[in-house]
Amino acid sequence: MRTVIEGQLKRKKYVKKIIKVTAVLTLFLVIVLTAIPPLIMGGMINQSVQFSQVYQASDYDLDAQELHLTTEDGYQISAFEVEVERPKAIIIFISGIHNPSVTAFFGHAKMASDNGYASILYDMRAHGESEGEVISLGYRETLDTQAVVDYIRSQEKYREVPIVVYGLSMGGAVAINSIGQIPEIAALISMSAYSSWQDVFIENMIALGAPKMVATMQRPFLELYTAYKFGLNTRNIYPENQIKNLGDRPALIMHSTNDSEVSFSNFERIIAQAPSHVETFTREGDYHFFTTDILHPENDKEYAQRVLAFLDSHLGD
């Protein structure tokens, strides 16, 4: 009997020890997983991007008016307006997370102008001459787009003119989020957008050699960190979710199949949630900027024709 009791006590001590060790390891894992997002993302987003290369409208035989627009949350946003007489629509161009400057889209603005479309090119908060010290990964940049939309709607010359939002990479994600949040926007063009920041973060961890299970476990901690960083009210503002708000508005979503910066699976997740009328354009290969000539899109005949055909079919006279 005594031996039995001693055996039971030993087993209880062993179980308690296992529970304590498990609790300590779990706590350690939680601490590590909680620390990863700010450690990795901090240097990426806690900065104001100053571009090494900035282009001038005059490089493209354009006249552009410089604008300084104020967002709802108090940031001054730098933008450039390219006017045309009696525009079919006005296009808002948005660039990527760290490059290029949105001024690289003056070539697109020229192509648009030659075909009857006005444009406004804006640098998101914490980019170029726009105010801000934190890149918000698409969660709060919809407020930047809203400031541009508010300006457009305040101008008599644009009173009845449709608004198109057109973005690249993170700017593509912002474009999708913007049309999901802003009903005044009439159409969307997006290139190489991520489905959510969590998706692209986890996929890049795996690509860099992290075990898939460990990378996948990171998702709730990423969601916690971005909610803390950008506000709880932004937690649903990501492209895979916001594309559901498109309604019957036209959209063209583009991605290359072997994009090494934002994988093609991001495109697939967005399209899986998009209304059935959304148009797509994919290319074989690794073209994160999608067009083969971001500065002179007219040189990429297939791309230029597809974009202009989309615009003319939905917004032309």
Per-residue pLDDT of 199-248, as tens digits, reads 999 998 898 888 888 788 889 889 988 998 999 899 899 999 999 999 99
Mean pLDDT, residues 260-264 taken together: 95
Q: State the distance between the two ends of the chain, measured CA to CA, in whole angstroms.
A: 96
Comparing 122 with 15, the larger pLDDT belongs to 122
65's CB contacts (< 8 A; 6+ apart) are 80, 81, 83
pLDDT at site 14 = 62
Tokens of 159: 């009173």
Mean pLDDT, residues 107-121 taken together: 98
Comparing 204 with 308, the larger pLDDT belongs to 308
Task: Note the pLDDT tens digit of each residue in 159-175.
Answer: 899 999 999 999 999 99
Which phi and psi (to 5°) does residue 257 adopt?
-65, -30
* Residue 249 to residue 89: CA distance in whole angstroms: 14
Percent share of the chain, pLDDT over 70: 89
Res. 195: pLDDT tops 80:
yes
Alpha helices (runs of H) in 117-242, residue ranges in sequence order: 142-154, 170-181, 197-207, 212-217, 219-230, 239-242
Comparing 11 with 222, the larger pLDDT belongs to 222
How sure is the predictor about 32, in pLDDT bands with cuts at 50, 70 and 90?
Answer: low
pLDDT at site 24 = 59
**HSE-up of residue 134 (Cα within 13 Å, Cβ side):** 10
Helices 2-45, 219-230: crossing angle, 10 deg rounding? 50
154's CB contacts (< 8 A; 6+ apart) are none
Tokens of 51: 């571009």
How sure is the predictor about 316, in pLDDT bands with cuts at 50, 70 and 90?
Answer: confident
Closest by alpha carbon to 297, among 98, 152, 93? 93
**What angle is formed at CA 106 by the lines to CA 111 and CA 316, rounded to 5 degrees?**
35
pLDDT at site 1 = 55
pTM for this entry: 0.91
pLDDT averaged over the chain? 91
DSSP state of 66: E
Domains plus CATH for the chain? 55-196+238-315 (3.40.50.1820)
Res. 132: pLDDT tops 80:
yes
Mean pLDDT, residues 257-279 taken together: 97
pLDDT at site 214 = 79
